[in-house]
Amino acid sequence: MQQVTIASAQYPITEHPDFASWQKHTEKWVADAAIGGAELLLFPEYGAMELVSIFGGDVRNDIRRQIHALNELKADFCATFAAFARKYGVIIVAPSIPVVEEGKKLNRAFVFGKDGLAGYQDKFFMTRFENEHWGIESAPKQLTVFEAPWGKFGIQICYDVEFPFGAQKLCEAGAKLILAPSCTETLRGATRVHVGARARALENQAYTVVSQTIGEAAWSPAVDVNYGYAAFYTTPDKDTPEEGIIASKAAQVEGWLIRQIDFSLVDEVRRDGHVFNFRDQSRMTMELANEQVSTVFKHL
C-alpha cells in the first residue's frame, strides 16, 4: 500500500474550564477526522497552548511560567492522545507543546500510533519571539523518520520548514512526506511557512502538508492572535498538479482539510520526472556549523 489519507487541521486555540473539557474537545476533533477517512492526523504547532486556559491568571499571564505548568501535564497529555490513536485506529501528530528536558525548554511534537507513543520531533530553529521573549530553546539536533505501513515521513515544525536542511536529510533517509505543523499570527508569517513547504516539496520531489492555528485567544499572551490555513503540496511534475498545489483550505475557517496522497507518484517523478531535483540536490552537502545531526527511525 502506497496511499494514505491525511487530515490537516485549521485549529483554533480554544478555552477550557478543566482538563476533562479539553479531552472531550480533542476527541471530537480526532473522531471527525477518523469519520472522514483519515489515517494520519496533523495538528498545528502550539495547539496545546489552549491547555493554559485551565490554569489561574498567574500562569495565564506569564508566558515563561506556562512552559513549566504545561510540562507538568505532559504525561496526561500524551496518555490522552495515545488513547485516542488506539481507539480510532489512526496515527496522530499531536499539537506541539513546550516541554522541559534536562533543564532545556523545547518545542516538541509527539507522534502516536495504534500502539501508543511512537516518538517525537523537536524544533531546531527558534523564531525571535520564542528565543527573545518566551525562552523556548533550540533542541539537540536529532531528526526522526517515522515508518508507517504506507511509507516514511518526517516533521519540520513551522520555522524549520523555511530551511532546506532538515527536509533534505529526512528525505535522504527515506521520507517522502514532510509534515509542517505551524503557528503564525499574520498573513506574512503564514506565507513564509507555506513558501517554505512548497520549496521543500520541489527540492525533494516529495509531499508536504501544512497545519496552522487560527483565530484569537485574548486570554493567552503567547498565542493570542493566529492566522493560517491548511494545505497539501507536491512537486509540479509528471502526473502531479501544475502548480504543485494539491489542496488548500480558506484561511481562518475551523476544520480539517482531508486528502489522499499516493507515494507511487513521487517514486515515478524521482525515477523519470521532467527534472531530477531530488537526485541533483543529493550532490550538495548541508551541515550545521559546530553541531552534529543524527537521525533515528521509529516504527508505527
Structural domain boundaries in the chain: 3-299
Q: Binning pLDDT at 50, 70 and 90, where does residue 291 land?
A: confident
- What is the rounded average pLDDT of the residues 23-41? 98
User: In CATH, what class is 3-299?
Assistant: alpha beta
Percent of the chain with pLDDT over 70: 100
Q: Are the C-beta atoms of residues 226 and 185 closer than 8 Å to each other?
A: yes
Q: Binning pLDDT at 50, 70 and 90, where does residue 117 land?
A: very high
pLDDT at 285: 80
Q: Binning pLDDT at 50, 70 and 90, where does residue 1 land?
A: low
Q: What end-to-end distance do the CA atoms of the chain give, in Å?
A: 15
3-state secondary structure of 59: helix
User: What's the helix, strand, coil split of the chain in %, to 5?
Assistant: 35, 30, 35
Between 284 and 46, where is the model more confident? 46
In residues, how long is the chain?
300
Nearest Cα to Cα of residue 177 among 197, 163, 159, 193: 197
**How many angstroms separate the CA atoms of 142 and 166, rounded?**
10
Q: What pLDDT digit, counting tens, does each position of 123-158 carry?
A: 999 999 999 889 999 999 999 999 999 999 999 999
Q: Where are the beta strands (DSSP E) in 200-287?
A: 207-216, 225-226, 231-233, 245-248, 255-262
